[in-house]
Amino acid sequence: MADTFLAITPRPAPVKTEGFVPWVRRNLVGDWKSGLTTLFLIALGVVVLQRATPREWGVARAVFAADADACQAARGIGACWGVIAEKWRIIIFGRYPYEQQWRPEVATILMVAALVVSCARWFWKPWLALLWVVVLAIFFTLMGGGVLDLEPVRTDLWGGLPLTVMLATLSIFLAFPLAVLVALGRRSNLPAIRTVCVVYIELIRGVPLISVLFMASFMFPLFMPQGMSIDVLVRVLVGITLFAAAYMAEIVRGGLQAIPKGQLEAAATLGLTYWQTQRKIVLPQALAMVVPSMMNNFISIFKDTSLVTIVSLYELTGALSLALNSDVEWRPFKIEAYLFITAIYFTFCFAMSRYSLWVEMQVGVSRTR
């Protein structure tokens, strides 16, 4: 008689034995002894923390009022948060004329709002491009003035957070498509295109951003015809964009190289043209693969904008030095001010990195079983 095959009915997996909660249960509150030890250590921790210097320095003995004398008295014992109360407007807005500072304020809020909206999948519609045209138009009108009874403000007076946000946003937006084209060009069959792309990437990667900015700011005007000039802000923006695009292009190329040849053959067999294949088959997969390193690059561009200080554009970091260096009274409290902009940078970068994780999850959907 033949054996009958009896399938074992599936049963649920055993209780989880790995991960944070099971670990805590096993090691910290497993029996009364370890439970008691845990409690004791927590109590000890609380006591130590309450007496610890960071808390005392940062809160208990800190000076919150914009009072230079009080700060001076608390020096070395307590933080002087008063420096922020006193100087935040210069730190945030740089040299922008004081009575006009509502303009960069509105402009920045608008741009950050547009960025947040653009992050959400539900808004990835054609009108988003239109929204950006409007937002950028409003941003530059508000910042620059000269129309609608707005007093004109020269671009070299723009500064602080608005400048940081604008430079990072625009250079990322402009560099990204350029990077994709350069990456495709570097893999092109046409020798001329390939050479141009290789030379561009290697040239840019061979020099530090600072020297690119120097060239954009000081050397470029020397080559311009007499009487013709391009705004320094535009030159710097182009410099950062070209710099960022070279790095991004190599990231994109990494993704392109990971696409199996079979995908291209299948596309060719179906009769798709080169651009259709890139747009519909190659880039969606390649870009999905490079989300983590791409976001890495975006974050570093955001922080690298602080280098424009050296060509006298006072973005967030530059504005901070501007605010304190010339003020003998407040100069000693740089640490507190730096902690302030650290918090601002961290907010932006942390948001970007969390967003990157979300994007990874979205593009990974087709890979999950």
Partner 1 sequence: MSDAIIEFDKVNKWYGDAFHVLRDIDLMVTRGERIVICGPSGSGKSTLIRCVNALEEYQEGRITVDGVVLTDDVKAVEAVRRKVGMVFQQFNLFPHLTVLENLTLAPMWVAHAPKKEAEERAMQQLERVRISEQAAKFPLQLSGGQQQRVAIARALCLTPKIMLFDEPTSALDPEMIKEVLDVIVELAGQGMTMLCVTHEMGFAKAVADRVIFMDQGQIVEQNSPREFFDNPKSERTREFLAKIIGH
Q: Indicate the residue among 226 and 368 with the shorter CB distance to partner 1.
A: 368
Integer Cα distance of 282 and 274 in angstroms: 10
Residue of 42, 46, 270, 335 that binds partner 1 (CB under 8 A) = 270
**At which residue do the structure tokens 């560099």 appear?**
175
User: Which amino acid, residue 363?
Assistant: V
Give Cβ neighbours of residue 213 (< 8 Å, ≥ 6 apart): 236, 239, 240, 307, 308, 310, 311
Integer Cα distance of 79 and 339 in angstroms: 11
Told to check if 272 binds partner 1 by CB under 8 A, we report yes
Cβ distance 86 to 329 under 8 Å? no
Nearest to 186 by CA among 178, 53, 2, 67: 178
Residue of 155, 263, 306, 353 that binds partner 1 (CB under 8 A) = 263
Told to check if 262 binds partner 1 by CB under 8 A, we report yes
| Main-chain phi, psi angles of 217, to 5 degrees | -90, -40
Q: Indicate the residue among 16 and 367 with the shorter CB distance to partner 1.
A: 367
Interface with partner 1 in residues 304-363 (CB under 8 A)? 363
Residue 32 tokens, joined: 């009364």
Told to check if 138 binds partner 1 by CB under 8 A, we report no
Which contiguous run of DSSP H or E holds residue 127? helix 126-144
Least Å distance, CB 232 to partner 1, is 43
Give, as one character, the DSSP assignment of residue 315: B
Integer Cα distance of 358 and 350 in angstroms: 13
Least Å distance, CB 266 to partner 1, is 4
Least Å distance, CB 268 to partner 1, is 7
**Residues touching partner 1, count (CB under 8 A):** 22
Residue of 11, 16, 125, 367 that binds partner 1 (CB under 8 A) = 367
Told to check if 33 binds partner 1 by CB under 8 A, we report no
Q: Which of the stretches 63-71, 126-134, 231-239, 271-279 binds partner 1 when contact is defined by CB under 8 A?
A: 271-279
Distances (CA, A) of 350 to 15, 87, 108, 298, 347: 34, 25, 19, 12, 5
Q: How far apart are the first and last CA of the chain?
A: 40
Q: Indicate the residue among 54 and 260 with the shorter CB distance to partner 1.
A: 260
Residue of 100, 141, 285, 321 that binds partner 1 (CB under 8 A) = 285
Distances (CA, A) of 55 to 45, 60, 80: 13, 7, 13
Q: Which of the stretches 189-197, 219-227, 234-242, 262-270 binds partner 1 when contact is defined by CB under 8 A?
A: 262-270
Residue of 26, 280, 331, 354 that binds partner 1 (CB under 8 A) = 280
Phi-psi region of 11 (alpha: psi -120 to 50; beta: other; left: phi over 0): beta
Q: Tell me the per-residue interface mask from 152 to 181 with partner 1, x by CB under 8 A, - otherwise.
A: ------------------------------
What's the distance, CA 26 to chain centroid?
40
Integer Cα distance of 298 and 245 in angstroms: 11
Q: Which of the stretches 12-20, 30-38, 263-271, 354-362 binds partner 1 when contact is defined by CB under 8 A?
A: 263-271
Q: Which of the stretches 23-31, 144-152, 223-231, 264-272 binds partner 1 when contact is defined by CB under 8 A?
A: 264-272
Least Å distance, CB 126 to partner 1, is 17
Told to check if 188 binds partner 1 by CB under 8 A, we report no
Told to check if 121 binds partner 1 by CB under 8 A, we report no
Question: Which chain residues interact with partner 1 by CB under 8 A?
Answer: 260, 262-263, 265-266, 268-272, 276, 280-281, 284-285, 288, 363, 365-369
